[in-house]
Amino acid sequence: MKSTAFKSTRLVIALLTAGAIGGAGVGAFNAMHVSAAAAQTPAVVAASMAPTPMALPDFTQITERYGPAVVNISVTSTTKVSDESQMAQGGGDSLSNDPFFEFFRRFQQGQQGNGMGGQQEVPTQVQGSGFIVSSDGIILTNAHVVRDAKEVTVKLTDRREFRAKVLGADAKTDIAVLKINAKNLPVVALGKTSDLKVGEWVLAIGSPFGFENTVTAGVVSAKGRSLPDDSAVPFIQTDVAVNPGNSGGPLFNTRGEVVGINSQIYSRSGGYQGLSFAIPIDVATRIKNQIVATGKVEHARLGVAVQEVNQAFADSFKLDKPEGALVSTVEKDSPAAKAGLQSGDVIRKVNGQPIVSSGDLPALIGLAAPGDTVKLDIWRQGASKELTARLANADDKSAQVASNNDASKHGRLGLALRPLQPDEKQQVGVDGGLLVQQASGPAAMAGVQSGDV
């Protein structure tokens, strides 16, 4: 399971009385009765509008039907360790305190520069999960599960084992496709992430810490989450108990459809702490189809760098809410530049899908393919505007070089800048200039602050 303080897999969860008085008090009773009824009506109405109580879901049928399509993945790889650490681990404190050990350790360090080695490869094993999507042996899992794999073994619930071939892996979305030589295998049913609702029950099956076919359940905590190192994926956040070894396993809805692939957890301990993240099955399916068809994956590129719209920016740009992606940089000759995007624009929608936070933009662009046309709803100088961009291939080498050069320039100064708006120029009393949106590194040490021009 991929884990960080995001680690590389989460639990979010009338009585009426009356009295009667006879004789002369009947009129008073009727008045009291009407008044009480009127006072109770809102409570009765509220009770009738309350959500219907629902029983806890029973996942036994889903587990029985689709559990056999979930597999355990065992990966053998190698890692380089120094001979020094090998000796220290093998000998313990008695060796490290031995003067002869210290002599040979220093001798070895002196020889490393002469090509005498100093490191050796040691075999390691990684456990993960996956699930079968076609009866002829196509399996989906996480790319980080099979990273640097020398050998991949897939184990079915009937205890059969197969050597697997990695057809392809995409590090950007953390999706890998495996193939085993078998027929008539059980398969899962695939759903649509767009149909998934926050608060809906979901089920995970996997091999946490090597405990095969472990079933855990929880609810969808949020959708469209952007994580610091994975802006291309709009993650599903759940509170399902997911741990190392669950990586690559399926996330089911209550209809038994796979809606995501468990991929990451947020944890300070390395284990489950109630925050689990799954890759939407729509993203995984798109990557799988490309790998099966061509053996490679192509990603779309718009060609902008964006940042969050905070309340101060929203007030400055006269936005109703601090939402959208503020364009800080537009790559030269990129699809964004050709479409007319400018620094200082706020992208509010892509093909009608709202951009709430800046991380939503790369996630939505990531769902498209190179060559696709997207409609961008932007906010510029206090007014809405619509632009159309034809997306390019993110693997275009020249674009990558330009982007990296731009990033290195910003990295040296530690500044995020944007052009001044017309009203801001009037307020400051200048004809032009750049507004400092964020200052860090050398710029901050020199005294530059956010808001400087």
Extract the tokens encoding 180: 């085993």
Catalytic (active site) residue 320: no
Which of 54-58, 103-107, 245-249, 275-279 is least confident?
Answer: 103-107
> Quick one: 392 and 438 in the same domain?
no
Q: How many domains does the chain have?
A: 4
What is the CATH number for 85?
2.40.10.10
Q: What φ, ψ does residue 422 adopt, rounded to 5°?
A: -55, -45
> Quick one: 363 and 450 in the same domain?
no
pLDDT of residue 121: 77
**215 or 172, higher pLDDT:** 215
> Quick one: 167 and 237 in the same domain?
no
The total of other beta-carbon atoms located within 10 Å of residue 404's CB is 10
> Quick one: 349 and 369 in the same domain?
yes
> Among 402, 400, 332, 389, which residue's Cα sits nearest to residue 361?
389
Residue 345 lies in a domain: yes
Residue 31 lies in a domain: no
The per-residue pLDDT of the chain, averaged, comes to 79
Catalytic residue among 170, 174, 230, 360: 174
- Look up the domain containing 437 and give its range: 414-453
Catalytic residue among 3, 74, 129, 247: 247
Catalytic (active site) residue 299: no
> Quick one: 436 and 387 in the same domain?
no
pLDDT of residue 21: 38
Please check the confidence at residue 288 and state whether its pLDDT lies above 60: yes
> Quick one: 366 and 448 in the same domain?
no
Residue 233 lies in a domain: yes
Which string of DSSP letters, residue by residue, matches 65-90? HHGGGEEEEEEEEEEEEEHHHHHHHH
Residues 118, 123, 124: CA angle, nearest 5 degrees? 120
> Quick one: 353 and 424 in the same domain?
no
Residue 438 lies in a domain: yes
Which pLDDT tens digit goes with each residue over 336-386? Answer: 999 999 999 999 999 999 998 888 898 889 888 899 999 999 999 899 999
Catalytic residue among 3, 8, 144, 345: 144
Please check the confidence at residue 335 and state whether its pLDDT lies above 70: yes
**32 or 212, higher pLDDT:** 212
Please check the confidence at residue 221 and state whether its pLDDT lies above 80: yes
What is the CATH number for 387?
2.30.42.10
> Quick one: 82 and 153 in the same domain?
yes
pLDDT of residue 395: 78
CA dihedral for 346, 350, 352, 353, sign (positive or negative): negative
> Quick one: 224 and 314 in the same domain?
no
Residue 247 lies in a domain: yes
Catalytic (active site) residue 396: no
Residue 42 lies in a domain: no
Read off the pTM.
Answer: 0.69
